Every structure is written in C-alpha cells, then in structure tokens.
Amino acid sequence: MKERFTITIDEKIAAWLDKISSEEKIFSSRSHAIEFCVAQLMKLGIEKIVLVRWSRDEVEPLFLSKPDIQTIDQLAKKLGVSREEGAKILLYRGLESLGKDTAVSEIEKINKEDNSRRVVFD
C-alpha cells in the first residue's frame, strides 16, 4: 500500500523530473521518479546520512553503511572519542591521504611526460 504525502522541492529539480517523466518517458510521474530514486538509495544499505559542510554554500551528503559505522565505532572506541569525533578523524585522514596521493601522482605524471622540466629537491 502506498502512502500519500506532500513534499516541497527545488524548481530546477522539479523541471528535471518533468523532463525525464514526459520527454524521456523514463518515469510516469514525479512521484514515480522520487519513489524510484529513494528505493535505489535504500538498496545501497545506507544506515545513516551525514551532511558534510565544505564551505558556507557547499554541503554534500555522506552515505554510511553498517560496515562504515562499525569502522567509525571501532576507531572511536580505540581512541576514546565519540562516534562523531571518530568520523571526523577518518574523514580528515582520508582527505589528507588523498591530497598527498594526488600531489605525488600529478608530479610523477608531469615527470614522465616531460623529463626536461623535472624539479629535484635535495
């Protein structure tokens, strides 16, 4: 059985839903499109959604599965901090690691492409 309720949605999203519902014939209605998208999220095994604020105007969802939450809890317990602090630590470590890996790979790529422009630090 389906439950009827009302939502408020951004006009750009509504326009996109209308386009794919009418022109592309992917969904029969806005309701069908939203139900399908939410069902797909449910299939991912998401247990918790955390909003990460990168800047004042930039917010992204972080989808956590049961294994993700268990990893955070294990780290938090090991460090004697809250789940929230454990998540922050993992996020910062991951970003720091990603930044280092990206910087190293970009330098290696440049060096492979043009050996005459190699920069060496002693």
* Cross-strand bridge partners of residue 65: 46
Percent over 70 (pLDDT), the chain? 80
Listing DSSP states for 10-70 in one string gives -HHHHHHHHHHHHTS-S-SSHHHHHHHHHHHHHHTTEEEEEEEESSSS-EEEEEEEHHHHH
Residues in Cβ contact with 45 at an 8 Å cutoff, skipping those fewer than 6 apart: 65, 66
Instruction: Read off the pLDDT of residues 32-45 as tens digits, 9 standing for 90 and up.
Output: 889 998 999 889 88
pTM beyond 0.75, yes or no: no
Q: How far apart are CA 121 and CA 113, in angstroms?
A: 19
